[in-house]
Structure 1
Amino acid sequence: MDIELSSHDKQFQQDVRHFFDQEYPSEIKDKIRLGKRLSKDDHIISQRALQKKKWLGISWPKEHGGTGWSDIQRYIFEMELEKAGAANIIPMGIVYIGPILVAFGSVEQQCRWLPKILDSSHFWAQGYSEPESGSDLASLSLSAVEQGEHYVLNGNKIWTTLAHWADWIFCLVRTSKNERKSDGITFLCVDMRSPGITVHPIITMNGIHELNRVTFENVQVPLINRIGDEGKGWYYANVLLGNERLSYAHVGKKKNDMRKLRELAQAIPGDGGGNLLDNPLFAARMAKLDIQVDVLEISVLRALCNGHDAAAISALKIQCTECAQAITELGLAIHGASASVFPDQNIPTWSASLMDTPISSVIAADAYLFERAQSIYGGTSEIQKGIIWKHMSR
């Protein structure tokens, strides 16, 4: 595999790098650098800065307002965004539902929803998991009963990221009970302002409100909000999941994190003089992680250049998870006891509860706790291993 960039892609890389250095809102980068939580308004500012360059629809064709970029150009863009310390694009609208609307939505649906995603006036949430249907998603039970020109929804969704910010939610719902569970699932888009929808916050162990449980009680959804054919939602969902799992790599962020950890290690005195990097055991651990990140990058590029099947995507998802968690574990090891201090979720700004604790220690603790969830979200590691085994057993 030739991973040398073409002259065109090298110029594109320089253009993207210049944008994040000179044109992207510096106040957003400053907040991220200081470990502050970004608000919905912050994300709107970030995404509108990208859209001003026509760079927000990273996975969309030009005819629908997207960039029309190649897979490699998108990879370059995401790499430079993370290396610059900019805000990641919230994926539910751009990366998840946008391409589904482009591929399977009606012209009316595309005209109604795509422009609102691009101008950041509509935020979306993903309604997949349920209290009894996480890993076995095909067993979901949120019912959608057709009544006249509407479906009537009753049931729950859980672990719904940023549902409290969302204007719309795309949901997998059960419209029939077939012998094969996945055959009775339909893909619906639901207005979050609909009567009967209630959002219940879930506070995660790193003290933030990002996840939610969403209840539906006799919620009416127009039939015209259905994507594609009734009962074909499982197929559309699997197309989306392929996009979702491939988006977890975040190689640029991992390289950035490793650079920061190396700088911290160089500033910490070693036991026998010098700094922490002079300790051969620590240096070996650092080198092993550097290799993991490089191997992950090659795996992602191979998937982008040569195509990918479900087993390859599952393997990549596991690889991304283990690499991200190993980096945060090293971060805790470097910071030691200072990383046990964590800010109170009820205090508006992190600095108010840090006192003399280095900001990097709190960021390290937050990252470690957050990345524990990567073994679960987007498909648990155990389920991904099962997909790989089924593929190998054919």
Structure 2
Amino acid sequence: MTELEQFRAETRDWLDANCPLSMRAPLTPDDMVWAGMNIVFGSEDQMLWFERMRARGWFAPGWPVEYGGGGLSPRQARIVEEEMARLKCRQPQFNLGMWMLGPVLLEYGTDAQKAEFLRPIAEGRVRWCQGFSEPNAGSDLASLKTSARREGDMFVVNGSKIWTSYGDKADYMYALVRTDANARKQDGISFVLIDMHLPGVTVKPIELISGKSSFCEVFFDDVRVPVGNLIGQENAGWTVAKSLLQHERAAMSKFSEGQAPSHDALAVAKAYLADAEPVWRDRLAAVLMDAQAFALTHQRVKEAALAREDVSGPASIMKLVHSEQEAAKYELLMQLMGHRGLSWEGEMFTQDEHDICRQWMLSKTFTIAGGSSEVQLNIIAKRVLGLPA
């Protein structure tokens, strides 16, 4: 038995012994444990699973031990993910800081910044949100206006962000701010970390048509942020942001790996197929085949990443395909269910048919969040296919 095979066997045994059976069932909103200063657990099993994985350093198995990670090699970390998926183990926590900001800090952060911020992320003690988009800077992100004026060892931040996911629940924000108004727009941007509890920070939830307000507006009024929270060089934040967006797109494309709530298309549709025309079976089969093809391609991209190949282009492809597939799935289910799919009862993500209409509406937002499908297509054309601008 090779060393990796031995590690896989040990990992499988540990997960089987330590992941409660209730943590291997499909998720509902109450089952999603978000990192943060005040974590709320819905059950004893949730807390037990969280604490066991945290103690082992497997929230971030590939991070160095000194920063709260598991100290595993890339191959070993992937084995942990594979064995969790095999046993259908839920993600013990959902943490944008770990999936997106953490890798950027490991690459661009100073030793002091890594020591201050990485361990709380790896241990699930801080909840992060992203402050990129603004009312007039969405797809054209480099047009952002939120300013950060240098005053000694502080930045004074003024402006606003929009479509900030769970900004009302976040402890910190990683944000892009303009530190040089006279430079070319990409060259005058810096990447800073902002404590959401600082004076001058105001958060307002945005009510959506689906009834779920996960997005927020965030306003900054003379917010004083330490210069020590600048990641990378001043006015060079665009480079840092591009790196983070690669991780964001990869995270969005793999969100379902931790059994994030999403309806099983076959389970919902089969009740309506008996009286349906054959064309509906064909369309359902196409949706299921697309999902399987995505899963296999996703695995190939992960293997390429482990081999240290450039996967920035494929990451954009995965994000595009996953969000469009989710939208297509719910479009099919709504059409197949007809008027029975128009119910507005119950809560989101309950795996109940009453939830289909809300999820259908929410699926449209996935084609915008993290870079719209149109933006992703432009990136693919330029970076992957090498087409002229």
Instruction: Output the TM-score relative to the length of structure 2.
Output: 0.82
Residue aligning to 1:376: 368
1:355 corresponds to: none
Q: What secondary structure is seen at the aligned counterpart in 1 of 2:192?
A: strand
* Residue type at the aligned position of 2:159: G
User: How far off its partner does 1:197 sit?
Assistant: 0.4
1:237–1:359 distance in 2 versus 1, CA, 3 Å? closer
Residue 126 (structure 1) shift: 0.9
Task: Give the letter for the 1:393 counterpart.
Answer: L
Q: CA deviation at 1:280?
A: 2.9
Match of 2:204 in 1: 200
The match for 1:123 is: 127
Counterpart amino acid of 1:51?
A: R
State the partner residue of 1:346.
none
Say how many residue pairs are matched.
367
Deviations, residues 104-136 of structure 1 (Å, cap 9, x unaligned)? 112222221222223322111111111110101
Equivalent in the alignment of 2:177: 173
Match of 2:243 among 210, 221, 239: 239
Select between 154-163 and 96-105 the one with higher mean Cα deviation.
96-105
Match of residue 183 from structure 1? 187
The residue that corresponds to 1:282 in the other structure is 280
Partner of 1:50: 53
Tell me which residue corresponds to 1:322: 324
| Equivalent position of 1:65 in the other structure | 68
Aligned match of 1:294: 292
Task: Indicate conservation of the 8 Å contact 1:182/1:234, yes or no.
Answer: yes
User: Residues 293 and 121 of structure 1: is their aligned pair in 2 closer, same or farther, counting only changes over 3 Å?
Assistant: same
Cα deviation for residue 10 of structure 1 reads: 5.5
- After TM superposition, the structure 1 stretch with the greater mean CA deviation from structure 2, 238-247 or 65-74, is 65-74
Alignment equivalent of 1:311, drawn from 307, 310, 313: 313
Bigger drift between 190-199 and 9-18 goes to: 9-18
Write out aligned runs for 1:316-355 (5 A): 316-343=318-345, 350=347
Q: Aligned in 2, Cα 1:61/1:17: closer, same or farther, shift over 3 Å?
A: same
Question: Match of 1:160, SS?
Answer: strand
Q: How far apart in 2 are the matches of 1:329 and 1:304? A: 29
Q: Is the 8 A contact 2:91 2:259 kept in 1?
A: no
Cα gap change, 1:116 to 1:301, in 2 (>3 Å): same
Q: Supply the distance in 2 between the matched residues of 1:79 and 1:36 (Cα, whole angstroms).
A: 24
**Shift of residue 195, structure 1, vs aligned partner:** 0.6
Distance 1:261 1:255, change over 3 A: farther
Q: Distance between the aligned counterparts of 1:285 and 1:51, measured in 2?
A: 43
Q: Which residue of 2 aligns with 1:23?
A: 19
Q: 1:24 to 1:81 in 2, by over 3 A?
A: farther
Distance in 2 (alpha carbons) for counterparts of 1:201 and 1:255:
22
1:177-230 Cα distance to aligned partner (Å, 9 max, x none): 344211111111111111100001112222122111000000101111111211
Alpha-carbon distance in 2 for matches of 1:127, 1:255: 23
Structure 1 residues 203 and 53: alpha-carbon distance in aligned structure 2, compared to 1, 3 A threshold: farther
Q: Secondary structure at the match of 1:159?
A: strand
| Alpha-carbon distance between aligned partners in 2 of 1:216 and 1:379, rounded to the nearest angstrom | 24
Contact 1:172 1:233 (8 Å CA) reproduced: yes
Question: Out of 365, 376, 382, which is 1:390 matched to?
Answer: 382
Q: Secondary structure at the match of 1:183?
A: coil
**Aligned: 1:363 with 2:359:** no
Match of 1:139 in 2: 143
CA distance in 2, matches of 1:173, 1:82: 42
Identical aligned residues as a percent: 28
Asked whether the equivalents of residues 280 and 336 of structure 2 are also in contact (C-alpha less than 8 Å), the reply is no
Query: Secondary structure of the residue that 1:66 maps to in structure 2?
Result: coil
Q: Given the superposition, is the C-alpha separation of residues 209 and 75 from structure 1 closer, same or farther in structure 2, using an over 3 Å criterion? A: farther
Q: Distance in 2 between matches of 1:82 and 1:368?
A: 28
CA distance in 2, matches of 1:108, 1:168: 17
Deviations 1:45-67 (A, max 9, x none): 46445313321115534442223
Aligned-residue offset at 1:255: 11
Contact 1:123/1:166 (<8 A) preserved = yes
What is the CA–CA distance in structure 1 between the aligned matches of 2:15 and 2:337, rounded to whole Å?
A: 31
Q: Deviations over 1:215-251 (max 9, x none)?
A: 0000101111111211111111111111111122236
Q: Distance in 2 between matches of 1:104 and 1:58?
A: 20
CA, structure 1 residues 132+86, in 2 after alignment: closer, same or farther (shift >3 Å)?
Answer: same
User: Contact 1:124/1:166 (CA < 8 Å) preserved in 2?
Assistant: yes
Letter in 1 for 2:90: A
Query: Where does the alignment leave 5 or more consecutive residues of structure 2 unmatched?
Result: 34-38
Going from structure 1 to structure 2, the CA distance change for 1:359 and 1:181 (only over 3 Å counts) comes to closer
> 2:36 — aligned with what?
none
